[in-house]
Amino acid sequence: MKKIYLVALAVLLLVLGASTVSAGFLDGLSGGNDDNSNSPGLDGKTQYKLFAYQPMSVESIVEEIDSNTDFYDNPETRDWLAGLDNDYVYLVADDGPNVIMNRSEANLLPVQGLDPNAEVDYFNIIKCNVNETHSLGTGSIDCVLVENVEFIENVTEPI
């Protein structure tokens, strides 16, 4: 009688293990459920979820780095940013690296006014090609230089 229980338990564990592995495999094939995937898709473009607020000038980011040298400890990235001309802007991402893009492409994205009483955050979902990735320093969020920006949609989420 104990053999039957052991065999039944072994079969049950085998079935559960196989279903878990196949579910993970199939989820990986389908791209998972992550709406904000920062890895390139089949078209070679990467998707980002950016706050839909006015972009910051790259010059203002360089000034921020200069005033907080303890936080931003990568002088190569600071010099690289300072070398970009005024045609580039800095946009803050919801999750993942912050995005630097040409001002003319950024001007095509919808912008929401900052309302301190708002109960939602506004986001722009974009797809783009990543040209370069730079670190702002230890413990800081990276930034990416992108081009060929494609606006996907504007979404809101409760704060």
- pLDDT per residue over 103-146, tens digit each? 999 999 999 877 778 889 999 999 999 999 999 888 777 899 99
- CA-CA-CA-CA torsion for 139, 96, 98, 64, nearest 10 degrees? -20
Q: What is the pLDDT of residue 3?
A: 53
Helix, strand, or coil here: 152? strand
Q: Measure the CA–CA gap between 139 and 153, rounded to whole angstroms.
A: 30
Task: Give the type of residue at 8.
Answer: A
Give the residue-averaged pLDDT of 41-47: 84
- Mark whether 29 and 53 lie in a shared domain: no
Q: What is the pLDDT of residue 130?
A: 95
- Mark whether 150 and 112 lie in a shared domain: yes
User: Which tokens belong to 120?
Assistant: 């939602």
Q: pTM for the complete prediction?
A: 0.71
- Mark whether 67 and 133 lie in a shared domain: yes
- Mark whether 135 and 64 lie in a shared domain: yes
- Mark whether 4 and 75 lie in a shared domain: no
Angle (deg, nearest 10), helices 75-83 and 58-67: 150
Per-residue pLDDT tens digits for 29-38: 444 434 445 6
- Mark whether 26 and 101 lie in a shared domain: no
Query: Is residue 61 in a domain?
Result: yes
Give the residue-averaged pLDDT of 76-91: 91
Cα–Cα nearest to 39, from 144, 136, 154: 144
- Mark whether 6 and 63 lie in a shared domain: no
Is residue 86 very low, low, confident or very high in pLDDT (cuts 50, 70, 90)?
Answer: confident
Is residue 52 very low, low, confident or very high in pLDDT (cuts 50, 70, 90)?
Answer: very high
Phi-psi region of 47 (alpha: psi -120 to 50; beta: other; left: phi over 0): beta
Domain that holds residue 28: 1-33
Query: Is residue 86 in a domain?
Result: yes
Q: Measure the CA–CA gap between 148 and 30, rounded to whole angstroms.
A: 25
- Mark whether 23 and 90 lie in a shared domain: no
Q: What is the pLDDT of residue 4?
A: 53
Count of domains for the chain: 2
Q: Measure the CA–CA gap between 25 and 5, rounded to whole angstroms.
A: 30
Give the residue-averaged pLDDT of 44-73: 91
Instruction: Give yes or no for residue 26 having a pLDDT over 80.
Output: no
> Which residues are registered as beta bridge partners of 93?
50
% the chain with pLDDT above 70: 74
Is residue 150 very low, low, confident or very high in pLDDT (cuts 50, 70, 90)?
Answer: very high
Give the residue-averaged pLDDT of 43-64: 92
Cα–Cα nearest to 46, from 130, 123, 114: 130
Query: Is residue 38 in a domain?
Result: no
- Mark whether 61 and 13 lie in a shared domain: no
Query: Is residue 41 in a domain?
Result: no
Q: Measure the CA–CA gap between 56 and 152, rounded to whole angstroms.
A: 21
Q: What is the pLDDT of residue 35?
A: 47
